[in-house]
Amino acid sequence: MSASSITRRSMMIRSAGAALALAGCRRSSRGSGKLRIGLLYFAPEAGAELCMKGVFDGLAQSGFTRDNNLEVISSHAQGEISNIPLLVQNFTTQGVDLIITLTTPCLTAACTAARNTHIAFTYCYDPVAAGAGKSFSDHLPNVTGVGSFPPVEATVDLIRKLVPGVKSVGTVYSSSEANSVKVISVARDAFKKRGIALQEVTAVNTSEVFQAAQVACHRNVQAMWVTGDNTALQSFDAIVKTTTDAKLPLFINDPEFTDRGALACVGLGWYPAGKAGGIVAARLLRGEDPSTIPFQEVAEKKLVLNNQAAARLGISFPPDVIVESKA
C-alpha cells in the first residue's frame, strides 16, 4: 500500500471516529430522556427576558420543562451581529433537536447556517424580511414561528398628537438588521403621508450609536423615534442622553425601555408573542413538520407613557391618550 493510501485511510478512520463520538454524545442526550434545544438571542435586555419567560411558559403549557424533559443551551451574541453565526454553528455541532431564535438577526443567521435543524422563532418583527420564507405560508421547510410587526401608523399618529406642528423626525437604526430596514421602509411612507420628513441615520455597531443620534438630533428635527433595532437598543442610554441634551421628545416601540427616558411608546407586549412561540416550539419537539405550520402574527398593541419625561419637556398627555395607556 502506498504512503498516500495509508494517509487517506488514516484520515478516514479518524473522521469516522469523530462522527461516532458525536453520535454517541447525541445518543447519551436522548438516553437521558431529555430533548436538547438551543436558545439564541441578541443580548440581555428587558424585552428579550419577558419574551423568554413567555417561551418557557408556552413550552411548559405543552408539557416541556427544563427540570423534566428539556436540556436548554442558551447563548447570546453580546449585542454584535458578527458573533451570531458561530453561535448557530455551535448549536448544530452539539446536535440540538431544535433552535429557538429571539430577534431577527438571530433568525437570519439560523436560516442560513442551520438548514438541517428545526428552527422556531419569536421576538421578530418580520420573518419574511429576515429570510425565513417568501410568505407566512410559503417558507423554509425547517422553520416556523411567530412574527410581531410594530404599530408604525399608530406611532406616527402619537408623535403628531404630542408634538403639534411636527415637520421632521429623526431616527437611528442599523442597516444590517433586516427588521429595522423593513420597519423604516414602512415608516418612511407613513411619515410622508402626514407631511413629516424622516431623517435617517444608520449605525453599523453599538459604538456608533451615540454619534449617529447626535447627527440625527442636529438635523432640525422636532422629535426622535427609535424602533426595535437591536443595535440601537443596546446603546439606548446614549440615545436618551442625546435627546435629553437636545430637549427633544423620544418615541419608541419597546415598552420595557420607556421608563429609561423615552416620552412614550406605542409598542408590543412581548410575553404573548413569546408564549405563542413556545407553543409552536413544543409542536416541533413533538415531531410536527415545520413546513406544514404557517407563520403566526401575534402583535398586541401596548401604549406606555413616561410622566417624568413629559414634565421635563413641558408636554401634557391628552385625556384620550392617558385612557388608552391604562386600557
Rounded Cα gap, residues 216 and 234, in angstroms: 18
Can you give the pLDDT of all 327 residues of the chain as single tens digits? 444 443 334 433 333 333 333 333 333 344 567 999 999 999 999 999 999 999 999 999 999 999 899 999 999 999 999 999 999 999 999 999 999 999 999 999 999 999 999 999 999 999 999 999 999 999 999 999 999 999 999 999 999 999 999 999 999 999 999 999 999 999 999 999 999 999 999 999 999 999 999 999 999 999 999 998 999 999 999 999 999 999 999 999 999 999 999 999 999 989 999 999 999 999 999 999 999 999 999 999 999 999 999 999 999 999 999 999 998
* Co-location of 53 and 184 in the same domain: no
* Co-location of 239 and 120 in the same domain: no
Q: How many domains does the chain have?
A: 2
* Co-location of 140 and 157 in the same domain: no
User: Of 72, 119, 118, 113, nearest to 89 (Cα)?
Assistant: 113
Pull the grid cell for residue 124: 421578530
* Co-location of 181 and 115 in the same domain: no
* Co-location of 321 and 296 in the same domain: no
* Co-location of 60 and 180 in the same domain: no
Residue 199 lies in a domain: yes
Residue 213 lies in a domain: yes
Instruction: Give the structural domain span for 255.
Output: 152-268+302-325
* Co-location of 208 and 124 in the same domain: no
* Co-location of 319 and 186 in the same domain: yes
The pTM of this model reads 0.84
For residue 284, the one-letter residue type is L
Query: 3-class SS at 223?
Result: strand
* Co-location of 34 and 140 in the same domain: yes
Residue 18 lies in a domain: no
* Co-location of 225 and 235 in the same domain: yes
Buried b or exposed e, range 273-290, using 16+ CB within 10 angstroms: bbbbbbbbbbbbbeeeeb
* Co-location of 173 and 233 in the same domain: yes
